[in-house]
A and B are shown apart, each in its own frame.
Chain A
């Protein structure tokens, strides 16, 4: 067990280190901007003197590492600073937005994960059949399609022409759960259609790789039934690749929401980021990027940890 604990500790500290470096990059990138926050707040008309005063107030005259540490420690306490665009506390907005994004990604994952696993396993079991080939062509097509294309086709046919589902996902804090589900249905389906292909192809590859191992052949030469081979011989060794597929897909969904949120005007983190980038509202950009990156790094870390925990060779060391 010591071995496993050591590996886990290693992965976790590596994850924390990565997050730390990522935060430095995000901080430094923004401080490379010509001009600074003081300039941005006061605009072009400001005199050098007033800018200088504001710089002092904002602490912009301090050296970079001091500013970084101040910035990081306030973020750790939940303070992301104030938006340059509207002067509001970023943490006020960002919590709701983040919740909305997670809600949408989770909704999509609930549909796409089971779907992809089933389709992928079937494609692996019936390899090179017509089913497999059709699914292969379909998934290639769906991988190749931009999110907005799928989104607008859905809007046109399922919303505008038929009126089955709303094309605007304008949820509020007081929108009820089921109304929320209805409003986010089309964005979730869009995300599913685009992401299911990756996951399905990865599942298929992982299962095929697994089924070609000698111990699977041995199990069938021992006269085991097909079902038992799958549940008893393949599955215990398949957790690591399957978990990997799922978590990578979640990471993909978290990022994939950006375009979908814009198409459906959904008040999530992605749309906030796009607006902020267009307005060059750097504190908001920083905050959003940091949250996206942190989620992404954490998901990858979870995948790592879970695949260590399900590896029989590591679980029962020599």
Chain B
């Protein structure tokens, strides 16, 4: 189209004001939120550059079993003689990566069905909602264990099963927040204009629910991440020799009775990331719904 130069520059300045607004908000953010962001950045860095950062290979046996921390093995070695530090760094890739993929999958599945259930309503909504009710009647961890015992504990089945179970929670949330928007007059106006359902969903509903969805993504990631870690810890999640924090706690658990901190390191790796994400989400939630809480 014939976009005039000043419209062009206006969009540019709009982008730059948005960036500067975000930066300004960041500067004003509480300490906990800044800490959370820093944690996330560090983890992402470790995950992306794992092969360059790790002193040894992921499942390479480089020394004796249970070597205490020293100059060669900064965090010691595990029950098979693999370097703990390298495995922790690779764990960022595996554990976080798998949790992230699972969350995205859960979001696509639960989010799309949830929003459409709300927009379409009627029988479609009833059918989907009742199915989700039933799936949610069984506690997630128990259901996951049942399904894993049937389909086996491979990474793909882990992703599919946890993703499906968490999709039910995403569905509930998306449906609820979309329902609040769907009853708005501007959606009715769009319907009466003759707009297609897909247009209504994308143009009218999505912009109004993006903030709660973003927060839910963070919260959902924490749940998925903790569930996968718990399952791995129980020996039902990510399987050896893949470096994974939950399994690493399990592998080195016996050391705790010898006053050795080793099993706490991967456990702390899990906890710190979840704390970081939760701090950021909490700040975000207060920013987007702050007024409601204030008065």
Contact = CB atoms under 8 A, between A and B. Distances in A.
Q: Do chains A and B touch in the complex (CB under 8 A)?
A: yes
Interface of A: 18-19, 21-22, 25-26, 29-30, 32-33, 136-137, 140-141, 143-149, 152-153, 155-156, 160-161, 167, 208, 212, 251, 254-255, 258-259, 262-263, 273-274, 276-278, 280, 282, 285, 288-289, 292-293, 296-297, 300
B141 A29 contact: no
Contacts of B291: none
Interface of B: 32, 133-134, 137-143, 145-150, 222, 226, 229-230, 233-236, 246, 249, 253, 256-259, 261, 263-264, 267-268, 270-271, 274-275, 277-279, 282, 293, 295
A255 B264 contact: no
B249 A152 contact: yes
Contacts of A143: 222, 278
18 contacts: A22-B134, A29-B150, A33-B150, A143-B278, A145-B271, A146-B230, A160-B258, A160-B259, A208-B293, A255-B139, A259-B230, A259-B233, A273-B142, A277-B146, A292-B142, A293-B139, A296-B138, A296-B139
Contacts, number: 139
Among B138, B249, B258, B259, the most chain A Cβ lie within 10 Å of the Cβ of B138
Nearest to B268: A149
Given A22-B134, A152-B267, A278-B236, A273 B139 contact: no
Nearest to A284: B149
A172 B288 CA distance: 53
Contacts of B147: 29
B267 A155 contact: no
Given A137-B32, A160-B259, A148 B278 contact: no
Given A293-B142, A296-B137, A32 B32 contact: no
Given A22-B138, A167-B257, A208-B293, 19 more contacts: A18-B133, A25-B138, A29-B146, A144-B271, A144-B277, A146-B229, A146-B246, A146-B274, A148-B230, A149-B268, A149-B271, A155-B257, A156-B256, A161-B259, A258-B142, A274-B234, A285-B145, A293-B142, A296-B138
A149 B267 contact: yes
Contacts of B148: 277
Contact of B134 (A21, A141, A251): A21
A32 B147 CA distance: 10
A226 B258 CA distance: 54
Nearest to B146: A289
Nearest to B145: A277
Given A149-B267, A156-B264, A262-B234, A144 B274 contact: yes
The 4 A-B residue pairs with the shortest CB-CB distance in the complex, in nearest-first order: A144-B274, A149-B267, A277-B149, A144-B275
